[in-house]
Amino acid sequence: MKILGIETSCDETGVAIYDDKQGLIANQLYSQIKLHADYGGVVPELASRDHIRKTVPLIKAALKQANLTANDIDGVAYTAGPGLIGALMVGASVGRSLAYAWNVPAVAVHHMEGHLLAPMLEDNPPEFPFVALLVSGGHTQLIKVTGVGEYALLGESIDDAAGEAFDKTAKLLGLDYPGGAKLSKLAEQGAASRFHFPRPMTDRPGLDFSFSGLKTAAANTIHQQEQDLDEQTKADIARAFEDALVDTLLIKSRRALDLTGFNRLVIAGGVSANKTLRNKLAKLMTDRKGQVYYPRLEFCTDNGAMIAYAGMIHLKASQFAELAIEVKPRWPLSELNINNK
C-alpha cells in the first residue's frame, strides 16, 4: 500500500510517499524561510499563498521521484492541525480533493503525532512504551506514549515553546529568522562560564515548562552589555542560553522517565535537531542504561515524510477523514486517544 502525505501547517511545504513494504519512496520539501526572513517571523497570509504555489508541483515531483502515477496511490494523508489555519486549509483542500478524485481514502493527520512518530522512519525505531519530548516552534510537551493513539500529556510549556524561545533570543542577538540553529552554531564558540541563566521551574515538582523568563534573562543581559556586545559576548550569551534551555529539558525528561519507569526517550520536533540537546540526552540515557531515539536531521523539522508515515498507520486502521474539508488550528494530541473514541 502506498500513501501520499502532505504537510502545510506552517512555513514548509512537504510532500512524501510512503510504501508499507518499501518504506519511504519519495520525499519533497520546499522551505519558505527566505520568504519570511525579512519580517523576522512567519507571515500567515504569505505562507498560505506560497503553499498554494508549491503543493501541486511537489506532488507531481514526488510521483515522478517514485516512478508512480496517481493510480498507484491508495490513500492521501494531510496535516489537519494544529497550525496556521490558512496554511492548513491549502494542504487539506488539495489532499481531500485528490483523495475524492482518485477514489481513495483521505486521512487527517495531527502534526504533533507526525513529529512523535518520525523516529519510526529510521533503521532502529523505538518500541512502545516510551516518553516523548516534543520540542518545536509551537510546542514543548512531554508525553507518555504506550502505543499508537495512546498519548498521555505529562507536561507542557505554559508560555513560550522551546523553539520560540530559541528564535526570540536569536533575534535579540541579531540572527535571522528562524534563529534556533544559528544561535546553536554561535554557542559553539561561546564560553560556558561567563554567564549563567536560570533553569526555569526545575526547583519545584511537576513537568510543565516556562521559557519566557529565560528569554527575558537573556534579553536583560544583552541590554546590559550595550557597547560591549561584541561577537565573543554574543557567543557567550548564546552558550549560556542554550545550556540553560537544554538542561531544563533534560531535568524534566529525567523526571518523566522516573515517573513512568520507562527507559526509552524519543525526542522530535525542530529543536530535536539541536546537537547539544541530542548529546546530553544520549548521555542521560546511556547512564540510565536506556536509549534515546530521534529522527534524522531533515525529519526533525517539518516534512511530508512524517505525515505520510502517520497517515499509513491510520489508513491501515481504517481511520479515514470525512468528506468535508476540516482543519483544527488548535488540536490537543490527547483527542487522538483510542480510548476517547
Residue 126 three-state SS: coil
Minimal distance, residue 115 CB to Zn ion, in Å:
6
**Residue 55 touching Zn ion (CB under 5 A):** no
Taking contact as CB under 5 A, which single stretch among the options 99-107, 134-142, 203-211, 304-312 is the one that binds Zn ion?
Answer: 134-142
Minimal distance, residue 268 CB to Zn ion, in Å:
9
134 close to 268: Cβ distance less than 8 angstroms: yes
**Residue 141 touching Zn ion (CB under 5 A):** no
- Residue 241: contacted member of ligand KG4, Zn ion, none (CB under 5 to 8 Å, by partner type): none
100 close to 127: Cβ distance less than 8 angstroms: no
Q: Which is nearer to ligand KG4, 157 or 260 (CB)?
A: 157
Taking contact as CB under 5 A, which single stretch among the options 90-98, 100-108, 238-246, 295-303 is the one that binds Zn ion?
Answer: 295-303
- Residue 273: contacted member of ligand KG4, Zn ion, none (CB under 5 to 8 Å, by partner type): ligand KG4
Applying the rule CB under 5 A, the residues between 299 and 328 that interact with Zn ion are 302
Minimal distance, residue 144 CB to Zn ion, in Å:
20
303 close to 269: Cβ distance less than 8 angstroms: no
C-alpha closest to that of 22 among 121, 115, 93: 121
DSSP-assigned beta bridge partners for residue 16 = 5, 27
Q: Which is nearer to ligand KG4, 185 or 288 (CB)?
A: 185
- Residue 180: contacted member of Zn ion, ligand KG4, none (CB under 5 to 8 Å, by partner type): ligand KG4
Alpha helices in the chain (DSSP H): 33-37, 44-65, 85-102, 111-117, 162-172, 180-187, 212-225, 231-260, 275-287, 305-316
Give the CA dihedral 109, 113, 118, 123, nearest 10 degrees.
Answer: -100
- Residue 75: contacted member of Zn ion, ligand KG4, none (CB under 5 to 8 Å, by partner type): none
- Residue 211: contacted member of Zn ion, ligand KG4, none (CB under 5 to 8 Å, by partner type): none
Strands lying side by side in the sheet with 106-110: 23-31, 12-19, 2-7, 75-81, 106-110
- Residue 148: contacted member of Zn ion, ligand KG4, none (CB under 5 to 8 Å, by partner type): none
Q: Which is nearer to Zn ion, 140 or 233 (CB)?
A: 140
Q: Which is nearer to Zn ion, 105 or 179 (CB)?
A: 179
- Residue ranges that bind ligand KG4, judged by CB under 6 A: 10, 136-138, 163, 166-167, 178, 180-181, 184, 269-271, 273-274, 301-302
Taking contact as CB under 5 A, which single stretch among the options 208-216, 294-302, 303-311, 333-341 is the one that binds Zn ion?
Answer: 294-302
Minimal distance, residue 82 CB to Zn ion, in Å:
9
3-class secondary structure per residue, 210-265: CCHHHHHHHHHHHHHHHHHCCHHHHHHHHHHHHHHHHHHHHHHHHHHHHHHCCCEE
**Taking the CB of residue 254, how many other CB atoms lie within 10 A of it?**
17
Residue 196 three-state SS: coil
209 close to 139: Cβ distance less than 8 angstroms: no
**Residue 136 touching Zn ion (CB under 5 A):** yes
Binding positions for Zn ion, rule: CB under 5 A: 136, 302
